[in-house]
Amino acid sequence: MNSSRAETGRPAAAFAAGLLVLVLLGSLAGVADARQFRSLRIIATPDAASTRLPDGARPVEPLVPLTRAQARAALERVLAAWNDGDIERYLGEGFYDPNRLGDNVDALVRRDARLYLQAIQGVQTLQQYVEDDPARPGRQRLVSRVSVTARTQIEFETAAGSFTRRSGINEFLLRIVHEEAAR
């Protein structure tokens, strides 16, 4: 009798082992499929052109960090220009296709949209240099490249007429020019 139980137990054990192998293979196949959906995100680093100093400029060593108040004032000017539809005035010389940005903002952003600064989360001075002031011969100015991480909010009315607010955290790379610089 014992031998008959052992014989009926073997097919059940073999079935359970086979089922376990199938479950494991199925779970591994799911892992392999999930890997296909990952995307590679390159970590942004400055290229050589963005860190190069203009001709005749002298680097400032050590860097003199800008205060939150200075960064806030500069960022508020930029956001006010965005709200007035004049953001192109604040784009740097190296900004690729500023006219396209203006056209896209006009086409994609509602006319009544307003962008507000809610909070400055971080300010980091990336680069500073002293250069001759082209507007005032014989004078120099301090130029700071600053990264400002800020929480902003855009407010607008949808096409259906409902008031909408969207908050987000953004990084702004600002070039702040200080008119007076020590020689």
CA-closest candidate to residue 133, choices 91, 74, 182, 179: 179
Residue 65: the pLDDT is 92
- 131 forms beta bridges with 141
Dihedral of the alpha carbons of 155, 158, 161, 163, in degrees to the nearest 10: -30
Residue 135 CA: distances (Å) to CA of 21, 78, 92, 146: 77, 22, 17, 23
Helix (H) or strand (E) holding 59: strand 58-59
Is residue 172 within 8 Å of residue 78, measured between CB atoms?
Answer: yes
Residue 76: the pLDDT is 96
Give 33-78 pLDDT, tens digit per residue. 555 556 666 666 655 555 688 888 999 989 999 999 999 999 999 9
Q: Mark the ranges of the chain whose per-residue pLDDT is less than 70.
A: 1-9, 19-51, 180-183
Q: Cα 103 to the chain's mean position, in Å?
A: 21
Is residue 150 within 8 Å of residue 170, measured between CB atoms?
Answer: yes
Q: Domain ranges in the chain?
A: 1-41, 48-178
Q: Per CATH, which fold does 48-178 belong to?
A: Nuclear Transport Factor 2; Chain: A, (3.10.450)
